[in-house]
Every structure is written in C-alpha cells, then in structure tokens.
A and B are shown apart, each in its own frame.
Chain A
Amino acid sequence: MSRPLFRHLYTRRQLLRSGAAAAAITLTSQLWRAQAQNKKEITIGFIYVGPKDDFGWNQAHAEGKVGLSSLTWVKTVEEENVPETVAVEETMRAMIEQDGATVLFPTSFGYYDPHILRVAKEYPEVQFFHAGGLYIEGVHPKNVGSYFGYLDEGHYINGVLAGSMTKSNRLGFIAAKPIPIVLRNINSFTLGAKSVNPNITTQVIFTGDWALPVKEAEAANSMADQGIDVLTCHVDSPKIVIETAERRGLMSCGHNTSQAALAPKGYLTGAEYNWTSVYTQLAEAIQAGKTLMNGGIPHLIRGGIKEKFIKTSPWGPAASDEAKKAGEAALAQLQAGSLVIYKGPLKDNTGKEVIPAGVEYGQRAIELESMDYLVEGVIGSISS
C-alpha cells in the first residue's frame, strides 16, 4: 500500500512546483510570451531501471525530470522499471520514433554497454546522456555523453554531522559492493567524521548487491545491536536502512535523495544528487544550439557541491546547533572549492600508506577513481 501514498506525495510536489511556476508566469507573462516564441520545443526521455518512487537512485533522477517542468519549452516522457535488456533498447527507440525525443537520459549504470552504445549508433542525431563516467573518447559514438556527481562530498558532510552527534563514537555504513565509487563514499564519510571527532570508527557491511532489502534490514539491526548510533548507506534505495534506523532509535544520514520523510526523528542530513540543476543546465545548453556532436557540450561532465551537482538535505531535527555549525563550515569550504578531502599522509585500515605526506588528491584526481582501500578508522574489508 505504500506506492499510492508516495504517488500522492509526488503529485503534491508537482502541484506545488506548477503552482509556483504559474505564479511566476502571471507576474512576467509579457516577458515570457516574448521569449517563448523564439524557443524551440525539445522532447527529453527519461528511463529508470526501478520504480521512480524508490527513495533512491531512480527517484533522484525522476525528481530531476520533474524539476525540468519549469522550462516551458521542454516536453518530457518517462518510463520506469525498464530492465537492462533489449527492453531498454526498444524503449529508447520508441521514445525517439513515437514521441519525437531528441535527448535521452537512460539513467541506470548498466544501460550503457551495450544498449546505449547500440542505439546511439542507429540514431546519430539524438543525444544520449548517461550517468556515470564510462565514455571513452574515440571509441564510443560522438552523440553519447557521461555526467556524474561527486556524491562523496555530500557523504563528507554526512560524516561531519555524524561525527559531531555520535555518543558511542561508532558509525555504521551499509554498502552494496566494494567498487571504487562506493569505497570513496565510505572513506569520505569517515574522513568527514574524523575531521570533527578523531575517535570515531565506521563499521562497514557489504550486502553484495544493489537491492537486497532483507540483508539491508539485517545489517541495520545488527549494527543497532552492536551499539552503533548513526547509520548511513550506499545501496540503490536507502529506504529500508533509514526506516530501520529510525525504528531502532538511531540517527541516520541519507543517500541519493532526501529520506527526511522516512526518519522524522533521527535524520541528520543526506548526500543528494541535484539532477534538477544538471538537467536544467543541459537543456538550456541544447536550447542554445550546443550539442555533444558539435562539441558545445563536453562528453564528460562532472561536478560536486560547488558545481551544484550535489546538495545536502536540509539539517534534520536530530542535529544539534553545534553539529549544524560544523556542517555549515565544511559546506562553505566545499562550495568555495577550498577543501581537499584526500590528502596525505593517509593510511588505509591495514596500516598501509595510500597517500604519502605532502600529496593532495582533489575532487577530480584520477587516482581516486580506482580507489581500492578503506581508510584508517573503517572497520571492514573489501575482500569480504
């Protein structure tokens, strides 16, 4: 029965947005009319691998799509629960042929190879944007591009809040798979927490796959039993983890999109993708005549908090003033681009030095993309 409820939430959100848009339009109607005439309509298709109200990856993109409704010249179509098989290829073709889409956002990581690459070759005039960093210059078609956000900056802020609030000095991180992008979030979370509280440890549990609700619940419960008092996660849908944390009276930090509604007592903040901002920037670039093919839009677009690719959930009710202040300070540094999360000397949790003293790896450092370690303070192993 949860689905209809969330759908209502959705409509309400949409209503609010369109209400705001309507007000704005009335105020500036003359100006708007003049502008609207020389803008061409663009149809954009969004494809999600799971339900678009999953409180996770898919919902983050679906919210980005809803955010585009403030652009009157953008028409959107969307489809959820599309598996990574010929089904997604057919959906892409149908959006292009039947709905006239010229820009597609197939948002699942696994859509890229071979599905997006195959359809992109068939429709060289349509632009395909994929969330991830899989584009290879010279190998992949020119009408394909990658965009991605450095979500670990949001997890760093999560860590700052968690480190300030914890009483047991024990934090928990439930993760899907030990791959670089997940490890980076765990490490940034831990480094953020250690920046305000050097005594903390982060217990990590890998569930083994992106959506294993039962294992996620078990992991969350066992962490609660061990005396861990702040939980966060990197799985497709954080819903189960956050709900379990709330039920067990733990504090929690979100991932992918805001889970504040699931944890009215214990939510501290969350690392969120700001896809509305990214999609609006891209749509406006395309409206201005820029494309991937003519080089107007780069094939790899990335950003963090500074570039408005990432945002943090508004401070939750559980956060103390002191914790909020620490969070604001770190956020301000990230917004200014002056904070380097990974700098030497940095040891992994086996005591091996992974970044030597005097070396700094900024947001875009290529070394961080192949991360294969857990920093000191994390309890867990990537080979487990």
Chain B
Amino acid sequence: MATTSSAVSRSVPLRWRSSLEPILLPFGALLASLLIFGLFCAMAGANPFAVYGSIYRAAFGSWFSWQNTLQRAAPLMLTSLCTILPARMGLVIIGNEGALVMGGVAAVAMGLWAGSLAPPVVVFLMALAGMVAGGLWIMVVGALRHYRGVNETISSLLMNHIAIALMNHWVGGPLRDPSFLSKPSSFAIDEANMLGRLWGTRIHFGLVYGIVACLVAYVLIQHTTLGFSVRIIGGNPKVARMVGIAVGKLTLLITFLAGSCAGLAGMVEVAAVHGRANESLTVGYGYSGVLVAFVARQNPAAAVAMAILLGGILASGSILQRSHNLPDATVLVFQGIVFLLILYSESLYGRFDFFRDREPSEPA
C-alpha cells in the first residue's frame, strides 16, 4: 500500500486527497460488507446479486423507497446527536432512549395543556417542552459526572430504565386515556396540532428537524468558539481548565443540548406519528442513535448520511422477507456486518499514503 500506482495518484488533485479519506474508507467498508453479506445470503440459499438488487430497490431505488428510508432515518438523526455532542468533550452518553421518552411525554403533556392555542404555537410549545425535558434529563447525567464523578455512560444507561418506568406510570395513570384500548396510552393531542407532512410526500416534518439539528450542531462544534472549547475539553480536560475554560458550565450546556435533541425526537414521534405517548416510543431509536453516532465518528454532518444508510438498511429488511424468504434476522446480520466493518475501517485512517497531503513537487 505504501506506493500507490503513480498514474492513479496523479490523476487526483493532491489537495483533495485528505478529504477523500473519510469518504472512501467507509465506502470501501460498505463494499466489503456487501461481499461478506453476499456469502451469507448464498449460504442461506438466496442469490446474492438478486438480494443486492432488492436491497437497493427497497432502500434507494425509487422515490417510493426513498420516502420509506427517510422516514426511518428522521428520528435517528436527532437521537444520534445525544451521543455525538458530549462525545466531542470526551463523554460517552447512551441515555438517548430515556431522553427521547421524557421528551415525548413532556410534548404530549404540553400539547394537552396548551391544545386550544393556535396550532403553530402549540407545535412550538410542544417542541420546546420536549427539548427542555430531554435536555434536563441528560443534564442530570452531566451534573453527576462533573460534580460527583459518576460515570456518565452507566448513569445515562440506567436513567433510560427510570425514564421508561416513569412513562409507563404516567401513561398508565395520570395521563391515561381510558377509551384507548390498543395499549395504555396518554390522551391524544388534537389532530390540528400534529406535525404535517412535507409537500406531496408521506415524510413528516421530523426529517427537517433532524437535518437542521445536525447542521446546526456541526456548525456549533466545528465553527464556533464554544465548539472549539468543547473540543479542547475533549482533548484534555486539565489543559482546558488551565487555559480558563469553564468546564463545568460547558458540560452542563452540552449535555443539555444533547438531551434536548433526543427530547425533540420524542416530540416528533408523538406529534408526527403516534399522537399519544405510549410504549411505542421505546422501540430502540435511542440505541440506534448511539450506533449512528459511532459510525459517523461523532461528526454531526456525517450523522445525516449514516442515519439515511441505517434507514435504508431497515427499509430493505422488509423486502428480504417478502421477496427472498430470508428470515427477519437477515437484516440484522447485514446491519451488524456493515457497522462492524465501518468501525473497523477507523483503524485504517492514516495507513494509506494515497490519502496524504503532499506538496505537488514532492515525488510520490
């Protein structure tokens, strides 16, 4: 690998090469995982090429499938930010599910309480309630970490269970709609206050929230002094303290922002999909968000792409069952292979000369 063929090397402008690395490496990992998954399919008795074709058609092959994929990706963008933002300051937080649940319940409560106001106001208040609830929830984790030295990964994980138990209590007790028989659920917010769909599609507005949140987070982390301070803390907290960065305040702020993204995901699920809070909030969007965050290498902009990739894989699970008679777990196998290889490819950064920035005069 040390000396790549010079003809290829020269055909790519040298200054682009370092930016190609984070694109080509995951892409290569994706191709490699398709190869391994193909072997798996062949062993399961399906034609790998037909399966590839189906996955593509089901996930990205038409506008119909794109809508399917994007709908599944929307909540993952928001939940992934709950892990990404604190990760940049060196905290590993996996309380996304809990923050999502708290956000969902708070949004419903707000939607019921303020339901008679003008719909745009109600939607704004619901989003605000969801973000504040989710934000405070994860801020507790940040505070425990900063003031008491409690491990943030464990505490955020355990707080997921507390959040789910609280939701079950609320939707089974004080907020319960006795006339709704499917499962214990809160009262429904008014149809008029639900989030609409994007023009002419079946995709709800949650997708816009997700993309905007990821882009805002990207700018915040990469292009502001605040983001710079956060990254310094992530690099070395002691140095950050020595140069006078308010580590405590920033920890609370970032964990609040992280939680508020997951809380917003809960609000979107409630206001765009279910209309109520119930156990359907806890289907694992939070945990999938952790996955997206790590695969996106804690980069908020890359999280958009990775959420869409995961959404596409989930969307194709359907067709593997229906057209190829493969068991449901097949899609999990595929997802596992893809993400393992993408994570593994991280260890290859800097290992290929090809991606190194060089002076044009320097020989290859």
Interface residues of A (CB under 8 A from B): 3, 7, 51, 77-87, 90-91, 93-95, 97-99, 109-110, 112-114, 122, 132, 134
Contacts and interface: CB of A to CB of B under 8 A. Distances in A.
A97 B64 contact: yes
B181 interface: yes
B182 A98 contact: no
B292 interface: no
B322 interface: yes
A77 B322 contact: yes
Interface string B303-317: 000000000001100
A110 B328 contact: no
Given A81-B328, A110-B182, A134-B181, A87 B319 contact: no
Contact of A91 (B181, B273, B274, B318): B318
A83 B327 CA distance: 16
Contacts of B71: 86, 90
Nearest to A53: B327
Q: Which 8 A-B pairs have the closest CB atoms?
A: A81-B328, A83-B283, A77-B322, A110-B182, A90-B68, A79-B321, A84-B280, A80-B328
A333 to B, nearest CB: 31
Interface string B176-193: 000011110000000000
B72 interface: yes
Contact of A78 (B183, B269, B275, B322): B322
Contacts of A113: 180, 182
A241 B264 CA distance: 40
A126 to B, nearest CB: 15
A87 B274 CA distance: 12
A151 B328 CA distance: 29
A112 B182 contact: yes
Contacts of B322: 77-79, 94-95, 98-99
A46 B64 CA distance: 21
A94 B328 contact: no
A51 B321 CA distance: 12
Given A51-B328, A79-B322, A113-B180, A85 B273 contact: yes
Nearest to B328: A81
B280 A85 contact: yes
Which of B58, B182, B274 has its CB near the most chain A CB atoms (within 10 A)?
A: B182
Interface string B204-234: 0000000000000000000000000000000
A132 B182 CA distance: 9
Contacts of B314: 87
Given A98-B64, A99-B322, A134-B181, 7 more contacts: A7-B327, A78-B321, A79-B328, A85-B274, A90-B72, A109-B182, A110-B280
Contacts of A78: 321-322
A317 to B, nearest CB: 32
Contact of A87 (B58, B72, B183, B321): B72
A83 B314 CA distance: 12
Contacts of A98: 64, 319, 322
B181 A90 contact: no
10 contacts: A51-B328, A78-B322, A79-B318, A82-B318, A85-B283, A86-B72, A86-B273, A93-B68, A98-B64, A114-B273
Nearest to B272: A86
A105 to B, nearest CB: 14
Contact of A134 (B64, B68, B182): B182
B123 to A, nearest CB: 18
B274 A114 contact: yes
A83 B273 CA distance: 13
Nearest to A50: B328
A121 B321 CA distance: 26
A171 B315 CA distance: 46
